[in-house]
Amino acid sequence: MKLIPAIDLLDQKCVRLLRGDFDRVTFYEKDPLQLAKHYESLGCEHIHLVDLNGTRDGKSKNKSIVDSIISKTNLKVQMGGGIRSKNSINYWLDSDLKKLVIGSFAVEEYDQFISLLSPNTRSRIVIALDVLIVANIPQIQIHGWQKDSELTLLPTIKTFIDQGFEEFLITDISKDGTLKGPNIELYKQINLEFSPINVIASGGVSSLDDLIKLDNISIQSAVVGKSLLENKITDQELMQFLQKG
C-alpha cells in the first residue's frame, strides 16, 4: 500500500482542520516545502497537497508553494482544492503535477467536467468523494463539506468508472482530523463492490496499526496528515512501513 503524506495549505501555511471546519484550524510551525523534503528524505515517493483557500473561497493563494514542491523535490505530487473551472484544470494539467484531485466540480457540474477531459487525460485525475454516513448510507458532501450533493457514494463511483476514471480519494468526513481510526467498513464495502479501482483512503489514520489494517483489506493507498504532523506515526515507523511496501 502506498502511504501518501498530506500537507494542507491555508494562506501559504501548513494547517489541519477538524472535520473540515475552518473555525477549528490548527496551524503548524512547519514550512511546507521543507516538510515535503523531509517526507521525501524518509523514503516517500508521493505527496498529497490540499489548497484550502481554493476549497473555501474558490481562489488559490498557494500556487507558488505547490509549484515549488513540484520543482524542488522528486515527489509525485497530487493536489486538489477548489478546482472548479476549465482554466484551473488546464493550468494544472499543463504543469508537472502528477495527479489532479477534483471533487465538487466533478460531482456538481458532471456533464461540463466530463466534456473538458479527453479520455487520455482522465488517468491524471483523482475523483475526490467526501462522505457523511447517514443511516448507514455514505452521502456525498461538496464545497468544502458545507453542502449536501444529494448523491450517494456507490452509484456515483459507478458513474465515474463508466467514464474511464479509475482512481478515487474517499474521505469519511466524520473521521477527518480526529485520529480515531479510518472507516474500515466503508473501504471494505467499496472494494467488495468495485474491482479493480485505486481507492485512496483518507481520514482518521492515527497509528501504524491503522495503516496495517488498511493494507490488510487491500486498500491501494492511504493519505496521512495529522498523525505524521503530531508524531503519532514516528519517522521510524513511517520508514519501516515504506520498506515493507
Contacts of 51 (CB under 8 A, 6+ apart): 9, 60, 61, 62, 63, 66, 79, 80, 81, 82
User: What crossing angle do the helices spanning 32-41 and 63-72 adopt, rounded to 10°?
Assistant: 30
Report the distance separating Cα 234 and Cα 150, nearest Å.
Answer: 39
Q: Which three cell numbers stand for residue 49?
A: 497537497
Check if the beta carbon of residue 49 is closer than 8 Å to that of residue 15.
Answer: no
Closest CA relative to residue 114, chosen from 78, 151, 161, 163? 163
Is 8 catalytic? The answer is: yes
Identified catalytic residue from 11, 51, 111, 130: 130
What does the angle CA 133 – CA 188 – CA 152 come to, to the nearest 5 degrees?
35
Closest CA relative to residue 101, chosen from 121, 117, 67, 125? 125
Q: Which three cell numbers stand for residue 18?
A: 477538524
**Could you give the count of Cα atoms lying within 13 Å of 35 in the half-sphere of its Cβ?**
24
Report the distance separating Cα 232 and Cα 24, nearest Å.
Answer: 20
Is 148 catalytic? The answer is: no
Beta strands in 122-174 (DSSP E): 125-134, 137-142, 147-152, 167-172
Residues identified as active-site: 8, 130
